[in-house]
């Protein structure tokens, strides 16, 4: 694409940003849709976030993604925030408005679209969610808001699971999320569950690590979804498959969170064909 006087800029702010795949998503979409837009990573050092957002506004940057460690801290820099993002307490997308930036959380809608595209249901389901950190916390919100019958929220540190459950249940007005100690997984009632792996265990280079290794656990899983996409197939996914169930990695979640951000910035709807084309590009880059 030729950069000219009308080219608009979007980007990513985080620390670090070197390994991001987001430029692949947005620059591929812009080229394919014929839009004059470039997407670049901005390495924002700790203590510089507010200055960076003010600077972006002054430079009339159209939109920003926000990654680790700023997804919560950035909320203080916004002039508006979407309700879902406020509930989750994390923002990954900023959209330029007349007065500053409005914050959204497209990670969760991204996960939802990824699940829809794989035919995975949330409404009415019983779900096991592993982890209660930043990522898993947002998944607990998504599952509850999308009508999961029950979410067993398992975490190594019980009080974090309890805090998340209390917040989500209070907002939902029902006891949807049940916090549990990770080690107590055997107490989950007999049945078949969608299991979402939201801890950082198994992330490259620790490819052989898994948060639960016991076969008895995987007998309860009808579908496994790992938020990790590097490695392509985690040990969690391998164990789910070894028990005859379907398992998915987090690359489609990454894809769709980017697509939703792109749609918000450009006021366009990205077709499923375009989404698949970008997915292939992403897959080529990481495998
Ligand atoms: P993220 O933003 O990726 O969610 P995070 O907020 O640091 O990262 O959360 C990491 C999650 O992985 C937490 O649920 C953490 O459990 P604790 O709350 O008990 O720390 C979980 N986790 C990390 N290492 C783990 C391990 N070795 N065993 C079990 N859980 C682990």
Spatial contact of 284 and 265, defined as CB atoms under 8 Å apart: no
Residue 98 confidence (pLDDT):
95
Q: Which residue of 133, 138, 210 sits with most ligand 1 atoms within 8 Å of its CB, as the best mutation to test the pocket?
A: 133
3 domain-assigned: no
| 174 and 58 belong to one structural domain | no
Domain with 48, as residue range(s), is: 8-105+252-286
Asked if residue 1 belongs to a domain, the reply is no
Is 190 in the same domain as 141?
A: yes
Are both 152 and 183 inside the same structural domain? yes
Domain with 54 in it: what CATH number? 3.40.50.10860
| Same domain membership, residue 167 and residue 142 | yes
- With the C-alpha atoms ordered 76, 79, 85, 86, is the resulting torsion angle positive or negative? positive
CA angle 251, 179, 81 (to 5 degrees): 55
**What atom in ligand 1 is closest to the CA of residue 156?**
19
Task: Determine whether the shortest distance from the Cβ of 228 to ligand 1 is under 6 A.
Answer: no
Residue 130 CA: nearest ligand 1 atom is 14
- Does a structural domain hold residue 24? yes
Number of domains making up the chain: 2
Query: Above pLDDT 70, what percent of the chain?
Result: 100
Residue 198 lies in a domain: yes
The pLDDT, as a whole number, for residue 134 is 86
For residue 96, the CA-to-ligand 1 centroid distance in Å is: 33
Instruction: Tell me: do 134 and 234 sit in the same domain.
Output: yes
Over residues 153-189, the pLDDT tens digits come to 999 999 999 999 999 999 999 999 999 999 999 999 9
* 43 lies in the same domain as 151: no
Judge if the beta carbon of residue 168 lies within 6 A of ligand 1.
no
Q: Does 70 reside within a domain?
A: yes
Q: Which residues of the chain have pLDDT under 70?
A: none
CA distance 76 to 40: 23
Instruction: Select from 111, 130, 140, 156 the residue to mutate for testing ligand 1; criterion: most ligand atoms less than 8 Å from CB.
Output: 156
Q: What is the pLDDT of residue 156?
A: 98
CATH of the domain at 124: 3.40.50.720
pTM given for the model: 0.95
pLDDT, position 1: 76
Instruction: List the one residue out of 28, 27, 22 whose CA is nearest residue 274.
Output: 28
Of 6, 71, 121, 192, which is the active-site residue?
A: 71
Instruction: Tell me: do 199 and 267 sit in the same domain.
Output: no
Is 2 inside any structural domain? no
Q: Are residues 279 and 268 in the same domain?
A: yes
C-alpha 96/C-alpha 253 separation (Å) is 23
Contact 139, 250 (CB under 8 A): no
Report if residue 152 sits inside a domain: yes
- Residue 121 known to be catalytic: no
Residue 13 DSSP class = E
Do 150 and 39 lie in one domain? The reply is no
């Amino acid at each position: 694409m030729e950069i000219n006087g009308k080219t608009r800029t979007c980007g990513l702010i985080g620390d670090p940003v070197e390994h991001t795949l987001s430029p692949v998503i947005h620059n591929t979409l812009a080229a394919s849709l014929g839009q004059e837009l470039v997407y670049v990573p901005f390495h924002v050092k700790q203590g510089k976030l507010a200055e960076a957002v003010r600077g972006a506004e002054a430079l009339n940057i159209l939109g920003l993604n926000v990654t680790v460690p700023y997804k919560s801290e950035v909320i203080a820099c916004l002039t508006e925030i979407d309700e879902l993002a406020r509930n989750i307490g994390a923002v990954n997308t900023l959209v330029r408005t007349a007065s500053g930036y409005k914050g959204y959380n497209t990670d969760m809608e991204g996960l939802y679209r990824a699940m829809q595209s794989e035919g995975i249901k949330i409404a009415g389901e019983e779900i096991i969610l592993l982890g209660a950190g930043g990522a898993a916390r947002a998944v607990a919100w998504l599952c509850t808001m999308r009508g999961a019958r029950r979410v067993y929220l398992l975490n190594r540190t019980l009080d974090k699971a309890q805090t998340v459950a209390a917040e989500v249940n209070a907002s939902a007005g029902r006891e949807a999320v049940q916090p549990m100690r990770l080690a107590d997984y055997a107490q989950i009632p007999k049945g078949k569950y969608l299991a979402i792996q939201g801890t950082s265990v198994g992330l490259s280079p620790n490819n052989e690590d898994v948060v639960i290794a016991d076969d008895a656990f995987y007998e309860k899983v009808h579908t496994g979804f790992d938020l990790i996409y590097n490695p392509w197939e985690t040990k969690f996914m391998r164990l789910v498959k070894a028990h005859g169930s379907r398992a998915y990695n987090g690359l489609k979640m990454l894809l769709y969170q980017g697509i939703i951000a792109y749609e918000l910035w450009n006021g366009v709807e990205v077709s499923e064909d375009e989404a698949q084309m970008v997915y292939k590009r992403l897959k080529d880059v990481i495998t």
